[in-house]
Chains A and B, each alone.
Chain A
Amino acid sequence: RKEVEQDPGPFNVPEGATVAFNCTYSNSASQSFFWYRQDCRKEPKLLMSVYSSGNEDGRFTAQLNRASQYISLLIRDSKLSDSATYLCVVTKNTGGFKTIFGAGTRLFVKA
């Protein structure tokens, strides 16, 4: 089982739609959680950190469920510019610091 698993998609949604991505992680000792965004043939960039209390940044909401080892990202009112790959990222500091990236979920928003 991979340490961080995501539905690869692609998700094809119309503009204005709400879309949700899920991510599961296998190591209960994982400590920090992030969503990164990667545009085609570009580098990953931080979208938002994920906190146990949940956090929101404009149209984006991230949730963490430690008991179920599950992270989610909700995008409301999708824009064409949201088309990208969304990477779930988990870090842990047991047996040495390690950052683990999921393979990403591709999103296509169409007009």
Chain B
Amino acid sequence: DTAVSQTPKYLVTQMGNDKSIKCEQNLGHDTMYWYKQDSKKFLKIMFSYNNKELIINETVPNRFSPKSPDKAHLNLHINSLELGDSAVYFCASTPGQPYYTDTQYFGPGTRLTVL
């Protein structure tokens, strides 16, 4: 049983295209996140949703638009892909509000390559 799952695992696309990544968690958690891990391995938070409501929106280009149809799903749509968007995107979840003591449960990651 996969706790946090993401699709696709790999995504190779051309500059200028639009693509989506999907995330689902079956842990019953209320809060979900998107992180970006670049080539230097820094893991940076992009967005966080709690019960379908956006609560964290870091400085991310507005080409990135998250959507949470329900608390178990958080998708990420990226418009007009650029070379610099190439990275591994991780979805994560935590049980309640994004309290600082909660363990983050990560999905396996989506490796995005923009050519």
Listed in ascending order, the chain A residues whose CB lies under 8 Å from chain B are 31-32, 34, 36, 41-46, 49, 85, 87, 91-93, 96-99, 101, 103-104
Contact = CB atoms under 8 A, between A and B. Distances in A.
A87 to B, nearest CB: 7
A103 B41 contact: yes
B10 to A, nearest CB: 11
Contacts of A103: 40-42
Contacts of B44: 101
Q: Is the interface of B mostly helix, strand, loop or mixed?
A: loop
A104 to B, nearest CB: 5
9 contacts: A43-B108, A87-B43, A91-B100, A91-B101, A93-B100, A97-B99, A99-B98, A99-B104, A101-B43
Interface string B89-107: 0100000001111011011
Interface string B56-74: 1000000000000000000
Given A49-B101, A97-B56, A103-B42, 19 more contacts: A31-B100, A32-B100, A32-B101, A42-B108, A42-B109, A43-B107, A44-B90, A44-B104, A44-B106, A45-B106, A46-B103, A46-B104, A85-B41, A97-B55, A97-B99, A98-B56, A99-B45, A99-B100, A104-B41
Contacts of A96: 56
A93 B97 CA distance: 12
A101 B101 contact: no
Contacts of A85: 41
Contacts of B41: 85, 103-104
Interface of B: 40-45, 55-56, 90, 98-101, 103-104, 106-109
Contacts of B45: 98-99
Most B CB within 10 A of own CB, among A34, A36, A44, A45: A44
B112 to A, nearest CB: 14
A49 B104 CA distance: 11
B114 to A, nearest CB: 19
A33 to B, nearest CB: 9
